[in-house]
Amino acid sequence: MENRIYLDYNATAPNRPEAVKTIQEAMRAPHNASSVHNFGREGRQIVEHAREQIAALVRAPATQIIFNSGATEGNNTVLQHFKNERTLVSAIEHQAVLEAVPNLEQIPVTPEGIVNLDALEKLLETEKTGLISVMRVNNETGVIQPVQEAAALAHKHGALFHCDAVQAAGRIPINMAELGIDFLTLSSHKIGGPQGVGALALGLCGITPTLLHGGGQEKSARAGTENVAGIAGFGVAAEIALKELSAYQDKTGALQKHLEDALSIMEDIIIHGQNAPRAANTTLFSLPGASAETLLMALDLEGVAVSNGSACSSGKVEPSHVLKAMGASDEEATSALRISTGWNTDENDIDRFLEVWQNIYQRMKDKAKAHA
Ligand code: PLP
């Protein structure tokens, strides 16, 4: 379809053309970064250059970056390392944290979707804790979490701190040391790099959680031949994300305002976490009474790609666990749509969404009136 509009950057971002070009170049030769011959040394150089680029994005030393297959692996690596210790995670984490190990204890969030620090402190006072995991930016609401405060509480009580920063990278500045993060996970495809590549950044606690053992790659922290081309693309995407961060924030902020000003005047629409600090690229809203799947398909038929705020498992649509944790009703949680913008979104995309949405919204309202 011509003129399709993509507003689902939090699911995956379109590849940056610069990343595609770099990947293609890296794939021209057989680069096993562990080989000692010239081809191998070239591969090593590509990987080490990308390591510097990723390190700069999170303001960590390059020696603390371990490449892996993405944030699901990164989160599992950290959580599984602590599987025999008490682990507290926020109730709004991604499934890649919530499902990583059994018996996690959840930290509640406020109705605005912010981790409740008082509740966290109380949990820490009851029993010794090994690890706390709180994401920096929630993937559904975009709400920024008080990671610095949560990490300080963790350390005060002798626990270490993990942060899933997948939706923060390239959206807001990240300074690992300043935030007090011991383990941080990143994913390439959320910032315009390829899928299936990510990194675990280590703080200075001296622990290196390791999931995959074998060939000794990544200083034995993550075995398996490095995805040299993918890592190269990830590096380029990270470098551009850092360079353009301020302009990106201004642009997505203006788009978010434009979108939310228009949504706010539509009766019954609820924008979630609107009064909390948020990444400017994300808007999650509900039209109670409607089904998110119906809305999503109606938008898709018009060539507009967004996401629903609910998860689909075993063919059954479950209400969003994030919205449920925020105290939303089932009606709100099953009617939520997420708009997420990024490097290639412009005002025309938002205008097109609003044009299509206005018609769908009106149809829903007329239908509801007819059934009343
Ligand atoms: N964590 C968050 C917050 C995410 O949004 C995602 C992707 O949806 C992941 C983890 C998983 O990342 P990956 O696709 O790299 O495994």
Which tens digit of pLDDT belongs to each residue from 222-259? 999 999 999 999 999 999 999 999 999 999 999 999 99
Task: State how beta strands 105-107 and 336-340 pair.
Answer: unpaired
**For ligand 1, atom 5, which residue shows the shortest CA distance?**
139
Q: What is the distance between the alpha carbons of residues 286 and 274, in angstroms, rounded to a whole number?
A: 12
Q: Is the pLDDT of residue 2 over 90?
A: no
Which atom number of ligand 1 is nearest to the Cα of residue 135? 3
Which domain covers residue 357, as residue numbers?
Answer: 5-13+245-370
Neighbours of 285 (CB within 10 A): 21
Q: How confident is the model over 323-351, as pLDDT tens digits?
A: 999 999 999 999 999 999 999 999 999 99
Whether 266 and 326 share a structural domain: yes
Ligand 1, atom nearest to 189 Cα: 15
- 218 plus 252 within the same structural domain: no
Task: Classify residue 13 as left (phi > 0), alpha (psi -120 to 50) or beta.
Answer: beta
Which of 217, 243, 269 delimits the end of a domain?
243
Chain centre distance of CA 342: 13
* CATH number, residue 267: 3.90.1150.10
- Choose one of 187, 284, 307 to mutate for the ligand 1 pocket test, by most ligand atoms within 8 angstroms of C-beta: 187
Residue ending a domain, among 227, 243, 259, is 243
Count up the domains in the chain and report the number: 2
For residues 9 and 71, state if they share a domain: no
Q: Round to whole Å and give the CA distance between 106 and 119.
A: 10
Ligand 1 centroid, distance to 367 Cα (angstroms): 36
Q: Indicate whether 148 and 180 sit together in one domain.
A: yes
Residues 75 and 107 in one domain: yes
Indicate if 318 and 350 belong to the same structural domain. Answer: yes
For residue 246, the Cα-to-chain-centroid distance in whole angstroms is 19
Domain co-membership, 146 together with 280: no
Residues 102, 235, single domain; the answer is yes
- 199 vs 63: CA distance, rounded Å: 12
| Helix (H) / strand (E) containing 152 | helix 147-156
Chosen domain end from 191, 220, 243:
243
User: Which tens digit of pLDDT belongs to each residue from 146-191?
Assistant: 999 999 999 999 999 999 999 999 999 999 999 999 999 999 999 9
Considering the domain architecture, whether residues 260 and 156 belong to the same structural domain is answered as no
Q: 322 C-alpha to center of ligand 1: Å?
A: 15
**Same-domain status, 144 and 252:** no
Ligand 1 atom at shortest distance from the alpha carbon of 188: 15
Atom of ligand 1 nearest to the CA of 137: 3
Q: For the beta carbon of residue 105, count every other beta carbon within 10 angstroms.
A: 14
Say how many Å lie between the CA of residue 217 and the centre of ligand 1.
23
User: Which residues have a catalytic role annotated?
Assistant: 312
Note the pTM of the prediction, 2 decimals. 0.97
For ligand 1, the distance from its centroid to the CA atom of residue 40, given in whole angstroms, is 30
Kindly list the protein residues whose Cβ atom lies closer than 6 A to any atom of ligand 1: 70-72, 94, 96, 135, 139, 164, 166-167, 187, 198
Q: How many helices (H) and strands (E) does the chain have?
A: 13, 15
- Say whether both 192 and 271 belong to one domain: no
How do beta strands 131-133 and 105-107 pair?
unpaired
